[in-house]
Structure 1
Amino acid sequence: MIEVLTDMPAGVTGIRASGRISGEDFRAFKPTMEKLGQSGDIRIVEIIAPDYQGFGPGGLSADLKMGFGTLLAHHSAFKRIAVVSDKEWVHHTMHALGWMVPGELAVFGLDELEQAKQWAAE
């Protein structure tokens, strides 16, 4: 499931990924992503929940399609992305692949959510 969070600072979009994410979840999230791309200033706090299980049917292909589409169309709009998770593999993956993400990227633990929000808003 992809949930858009409302308790974020102005100008920051909060996203929570939990359970197994399907292609249908990405299709439901697409209008939010399109609106975000039109903002001209993309700041995201993405929480990978403890119960996150990866991709379900069609999830990976939908993620790649939406992610690369937004990245290519709005590359210079990406300012800050805070990834929040206690999953060790998330921290390792972000540190290994973070160079591919436009703008600034920082990784926080779940107990650092408030710091992640403030960092993304700066």
Structure 2
Amino acid sequence: MIEVLQDMPAGVTGIRVSGRISGDDLRAFQPTMEQLGNAGEIRIVEVIAADYAGFGPGGLAADLKLGFGTLLQHHSAFKRVAVVSDKEWVKHTLHALAWMVPGELAIFGLDELDQAKHWAAQ
């Protein structure tokens, strides 16, 4: 499941992923990504919930299509991406792939959500 978080600072989009992410979940989220890309600056706080279990049917393909499409179209708009997770594999993966993320990237623990929001808004 992908949900947009409402309690974010101005100019920051909050996203929470949980459970298994399907292609349908990502297609339903696409209009939000399009709005985000058209906003000028992209500042994201992505919370990866403790029960996040990866991709379900069609999820990975839809994620790559949506993610790379947004990245290629709006590369220079990315300012800050804060990833909030206690999953060690997420942290290791992001450290390895950080060079691919435009703008600044920071990783926070689930107990540091307020700090992540503040950092993304700066």
- TM-score normalised according to structure 2 size: 0.99
Corresponding pairs, count = 122
Counterpart-to-counterpart distance in 2, 1:91 and 1:49 = 13
Q: 1:65 aligned to 2:55?
A: no
- Residue 113 of structure 1 corresponds to which residue in structure 2? 113
Secondary structure at 1:94's aligned position in 2?
helix
Q: CA deviation at 1:40?
A: 1.0
Secondary structure at 2:72's aligned position in 1?
helix
User: 2:67 is aligned with what amino acid?
Assistant: G
Counterpart-to-counterpart distance in 1, 2:23 and 2:71 = 18
Counterpart-to-counterpart distance in 2, 1:89 and 1:56 = 18
User: 2:47 is aligned with what amino acid?
Assistant: I
- Residue 50 of structure 1 corresponds to which residue in structure 2? 50
**Structure 2 residues without counterparts, runs of 5 or longer:** none
User: 2:81 is aligned with what amino acid?
Assistant: I
Q: CA deviation at 1:98?
A: 0.6
- Residue 30 of structure 2 corresponds to which residue in structure 1? 30
Q: 1:15 aligned to 2:15?
A: yes
Secondary structure at 2:50's aligned position in 1?
coil
Counterpart-to-counterpart distance in 2, 1:94 and 1:116 = 15
**Structure 1 residues without counterparts, runs of 5 or longer:** none
1:16-74: per-residue Cα shift (whole Å, max 9, x none)? 00000000000110000000000110000000000000000000000000000000000
- Residue 75 of structure 2 corresponds to which residue in structure 1? 75
Q: Percent identity?
A: 81
1:52-104: per-residue Cα shift (whole Å, max 9, x none)? 00000000000000000000000000000000000000111111111100000
4+ aligned runs moved over 6 Å, structure 1:
none
Counterpart-to-counterpart distance in 1, 2:48 and 2:6 = 16
User: 1:14 is aligned with what amino acid?
Assistant: G
